[in-house]
Amino acid sequence: MSARHFSRYFVVALLLVLLIKMLVGEPVKVASCSMLPTLKPQEWIWCDKASYGALMPRRFIETPLLNLLCFIPGVMQKDTVRDWGYRRMVGFREPERLDVVIFKRGKGNNLYIKRIIGMPGDTLRMQDGKVYVNGQALKDTGSKYSSYDVFSDIVVAPKHYFVMGDFRSNSYDSRRFGCICWEDIVGRMASD
């Protein structure tokens, strides 16, 4: 095989990998113990982006290969204020209660992994280690480690989701930072 043929195959393979990463899914490493016992720290999971519809990049830093331009100081500085706007491909399903979702918070590229507890329009409260959704105790199969936090009458806004880690007493989640927006959900855990 000549070098020219090899380079063509390499470019095609690289483009295929990038398309899969952007539109289908990618492996994500669990960073904390907040999802124990469902997910262990340092475990790899598959982030399924196609189910909800792949979230399109908003800046160079979020775009494979183009993010290499951010090593140039002037480009990185301009990229911090750039926003191409929210765009999502067509998905196959909507998020559902108890889905484990991967999402971004704020302007950083850090990914968080939590379980959807509250859907848009739900009223939530927590007492005696149990979460109540619209007055009914949640039958949450994921949670094994309860928390005795108390909150009442949180109403989930349209296009927002209330998320919690399964290790309730050791999770930084919607109880601390509020509901997450639909636009910030990158995907769902594929094997959930």
Tell me the catalytic residues.
Answer: 34, 114
Both tokens of residue 71? 């090593």
Looking at the DSSP assignment, which residues form a beta bridge with residue 181? Answer: 160
Neighbours of 2 (CB within 10 A): 7
Alpha-helical runs (H) found in 36-188: 73-79, 174-177
CA nearest neighbour of 168 among 30, 32, 35: 35
Strand ranges inside 85-128, DSSP E = 100-104, 111-118, 123-127
Both tokens of residue 92? 């196959």
Q: Are 47 and 186 in contact (CB under 8 A)?
A: yes
Q: What's the CA gap between 87 and 152, in Å, rounded?
A: 34
